[in-house]
Structure 1
Amino acid sequence: MKKLLLFAMVCITMVSCGPQIYKAPSFTEVSAKHQVVAILPFDVTIESRRLPKGVTAEMVQDQQRDYGYGIQGDVYGYLLREMSKGRYTVKFQDVSKTNALLNDAGISAEALRLTSKEELCGLLGVDAVISGQAIMSKPMSDGAAIAVGLLVGAWGSTNAVNTSITIHEGRAGELMWKYDYVASGSVGSSRQALTNALMRNSSKKFPYRKS
């Protein structure tokens, strides 16, 4: 039984629905001047009607915040690997610098929702910011999926994970690009697997990609 559970935790199954893509008509013109882009912590929501015994709302909030920073780091790592192959027209600010500047300005992960993108670009000294959202829909009815996530860092058994990645330019904070992706995962669907699935699918349409 233990071997079976371990196997389930290791195996990854990720099934996606067709993505929804938005690209502003002015993106090519506006992005021609972009040199440095920052990646913000992702906004993560874990939806559940009931929490398992021993799991508090504060613990879930901490987990959401940790996953948000984790996905930020995963996206940065993915983009760095692609950038090393000369595939992008811009550079990406180190996330440790991004988070240090946000911390110094007193902007928490939760406060990012209330801060305009143009203000963030000015604070970070970049031409645009990449942000994103991940909503894990209803886990198992007994809340076991959240307990798994809190204990071992896995997403747990979910109906779907709705994710999106967006780019806002710095001058007016306008939305320049948005990619929506829906993935369903098993117990083994880790944060890294989710991020890789999102980036792998969006990379072909990523607007800073060299033609």
Structure 2
Amino acid sequence: MKKILLFLLLAVTFTACGPQIYTAASFKEVKAKHQTLAIVPFDVLIESRKLPKGVTPDMMKQQQKDYGYGLQGDVYGFFLREMSKNKYTVNFQDVNKTNALLSEAGITYENMNTVSRDEICQILGVDAIISGKATMSQPMSDGAAIAVGLLVGAWGPTNSVNTSITIHEGEKGDLLWKYDYTASGSIGSSRKSLSNALMRNSSKKFPYKKS
């Protein structure tokens, strides 16, 4: 069957709950040692009560995976643009190198959450890693809404996305920083809308910004 391209949406103008931010007490101490961070693919979950005819669980899993790698690339691109403005105290590993090293170590999108963060940092040769999660929900009595979303990217006004970005340090794998963000909207858009909204908001509190 021809591959179905997934274009999930957020509103162009978002409505969002206030972000929740966690910063470890030890962050200032370890921050000074950090030079390079890596960004791993996002963990994506598309919630639905029922899949429509023609959409299989395997197809949904593949779309979640594609979306996770897409968000990884979007976030990396955002950081590169900000780095060109000399805004950060750290550098970011190229995501192609990150994914190649993970593949060589036998770490896949499907098993990544079973590997400790400190082990991933060691494999990648970085001081800390940035990871993220996106849970997309579309309440529905049948599969019609998700079928439309999968095929043409037109999701309804009840669509919502809970996202988070986390930073784990490399020596012990401890959580250093976490930013949670919830957005919802009704105007059709692309994955870029999600990544742009998330980064536009989280970057204001990103802990490696130069003072």
- TM-score, scaled relative to structure 2: 0.90
Aligned counterpart, 2:171: 171
Alignment gaps of 5+ in structure 1: 1-8
Aligned counterpart, 2:102: 102
Question: Alpha carbons of 1:166 and 1:10: their partners in 2 closer, same or farther (altered >3 Å)?
Answer: closer
User: Is contact 1:139-1:156 (8 Å) kept?
Assistant: no
Alpha-carbon distance in 2 for matches of 1:11, 1:39: 25
Structure 1 residue 155: deviation in Å? 7.5
Structure 1 residue 142: deviation in Å? 3.0
Alpha-carbon distance in 1 for matches of 2:163, 2:97: 25
Over the residues paired in the alignment, what is the CA RMSD in angstroms? 1.7
Alpha-carbon distance in 2 for matches of 1:105, 1:128: 18
Aligned counterpart, 1:64: 64
Aligned counterpart, 2:48: 48
Structure 1 residue 26: deviation in Å? 1.0
Structure 1 residue 59: deviation in Å? 0.4
Aligned counterpart, 2:133: 133
Structure 1 residue 150: deviation in Å? 2.9
User: Is contact 1:44-1:64 (8 Å) kept?
Assistant: yes
**Residues 159-185 of structure 1: CA distance to partner in whole angstroms, max 9, x if unpaired?**
310000000000000000000000002
Give the count of matched residue pairs: 202
Aligned counterpart, 2:181: 181
Question: Alpha carbons of 1:139 and 1:69: their partners in 2 closer, same or farther (altered >3 Å)?
Answer: farther
Alpha-carbon distance in 2 for matches of 1:49, 1:63: 17
Structure 1 residue 70: deviation in Å? 0.3
Whether 2:210 is the aligned partner of 1:210: answer: yes
Q: Work out the percentage of aligned pairs sharing the same amino acid.
A: 69
- TM-score, scaled relative to structure 1: 0.90
Aligned counterpart, 2:6: none
Question: Alpha carbons of 1:171 and 1:155: their partners in 2 closer, same or farther (altered >3 Å)?
Answer: farther
How is 1:109-124 mapped onto 2 (pairs within 5 angstroms)?
109-124=109-124
User: Is contact 1:21-1:177 (8 Å) kept?
Assistant: yes
Larger RCO (CA under 8 A, 6+ residues apart):
2
Aligned counterpart, 2:147: 147
